[in-house]
Structure 1
Amino acid sequence: MSTQHSTDKRPLKRKTKRISPAIKHYTFVETPVGRLLIAGAREIVMLNNFPTGSQAMQPWPEWLRDDNMFSNAKQQFTEYFEGTRTEFTMAVEMDGTNFQKQCWTALRQVPYGATISYGELAQRIGRPGASRAVGAANHANPLPLVVPCHRVIGSDKSLTGFGGGLDTKLQLLAIENPTAYGTDTQGNLFDTA
């Protein structure tokens, strides 16, 4: 039996992605991959979401739009998409299990322009053989740009699941490493790996 009332307009909480109840405000920033949702409280970013893919979402009705609160985050995201920022320094807070947080901490150590496989990430956190669990932690990542889960690829170098969609993943990889993931003369993305 569902506990959500039919009059409740809030999106259902996904089992794999926790939405922090502390989120009070949101804004958007326009990017080459679409309008990026930024949400949090007290200038602390707790969520960023892409407009496409399986994790696309709208702000919850109880969140208040505040286009000034996250000006630092908006500036950093803009710089990233312009190719002038390689890491994020904004204040963030992430809601997740201990295992998820361990994966996300390791993900933040993957350098700009580099990629890593799910298995390699599992080894880095001391859990060899836990590549599926690492994939689930990536899927639950509330900050998929700040915690760069787009840098995780299959062991065969294939582009695999990404909450923002594979096209967005490829665009992010192309921003970070245009020689490996670039564009042809018509501006179409290609994978040179």
Structure 2
Amino acid sequence: MNAERDQQADWAWRVLDTPIGPLLLAATREGLALVGFHADERTTHRTLSRLRQAFGREPVPEIPHLATAADELTRYFDGGLRTFTVPLDWSLSSGTSGSSGSPGFNERVLRALATDVAYGTAVGYQDLADRVGEPGAARAVGAAMGSNPLPVVVPCHRVVASDGGIGGFGGGLETKRRLLALEGVLPQPLF
């Protein structure tokens, strides 16, 4: 999380129960800022401490983008939503700004992923590096996926290894398999 935030930001959070487990959602007035996996009590407490530091203040009771995100994620998991429209706040992405103030590599990769890799499709790490004009950066794309503060909404689960393997995933490989199965990329598990 970016500790060098220029100013304090209003933010709110909630835990959403989903088929892949509880997700911690946090949003600012700019948009959805965080989707955190495995939001049990301990993980939630630890994440909220980091968010208080990152945003420089205590959370507020509600922010409209938070309700939008929860509704869209619920519809996604029910099979009724294929494209997220909730605005995104990229401030928690690591490596978001280059020296000129332009978006850094991680943000460019994550934005390309969010806009160019559709529901029900998958892309290789190298292909995504090529799409952002960095042809030798497949490993760096993997690092960008690992820094993604907005998984599911910014679909890093759709990035797979070029050898046909599933690749890695911060939410765990079983979660990645379940998300890809939900989108029809992989068959549904038998049990």
TM-score class, shorter: 0.7 to 0.9
Tell me the secondary structure at the aligned position of residue 181 of structure 1: coil
1:64 is aligned to 2:52: no
Offset, 1:86: 0.4
Question: Cα distance 1:60–1:175, how it changes in 2: closer, same or farther (>3 A)?
Answer: same
1:137 partner amino acid: A
The 5 A counterparts of 1:76-95 are 76-95=72-91
The number of equivalent residue pairs is: 165
Please list the CA deviations of residues 65-119 of structure 1 after superposition, one character each: whole Å capped at 9, or x if unmatched.
7467421111100000001100100111112231111101110110101001101
Question: Cα distance 1:105–1:43, how it changes in 2: closer, same or farther (>3 A)?
Answer: closer
Task: State the distance in 2 between where 1:19 and 1:182 align.
Answer: 40
Could you tell which deviates more after superposition, 79-88 or 58-67? 58-67
Task: State the distance in 1 between where 2:109 and 2:181 align.
Answer: 23
In structure 2, the gaps of 5 or more residues are 53-57, 98-103
Query: Which of structure 1's runs of 4+ aligned residues deviate more than 4 A?
Result: none
Tell me the secondary structure at the aligned position of residue 17 of structure 2: strand
Contact 1:19/1:142 (<8 A) preserved: no
Q: 1:162 aligns with which of 141, 148, 169?
A: 169
In structure 1, the gaps of 5 or more residues are 1-16, 189-193
Offset, 1:60: 1.7
Tell me the secondary structure at the aligned position of residue 126 of structure 1: coil
Contact 1:34/1:51 (<8 A) preserved: yes
Structure 2 match to 1:48:
35
Task: State the distance in 2 between where 1:173 and 1:152 align.
Answer: 10
2:20 partner amino acid: V
Greater strand percent: which structure? 1
Percent of pairs with identical residues = 38
Contact 1:35/1:51 (<8 A) preserved: yes
Task: State the distance in 2 between where 1:107 and 1:154 align.
Answer: 15
- TM-score scaled by length of structure 2: 0.78
Offset, 1:23: 6.2
Structure 2 match to 1:103:
109
Tell me the secondary structure at the aligned position of residue 140 of structure 2: helix
Could you tell which deviates more after superposition, 114-123 or 57-66? 57-66
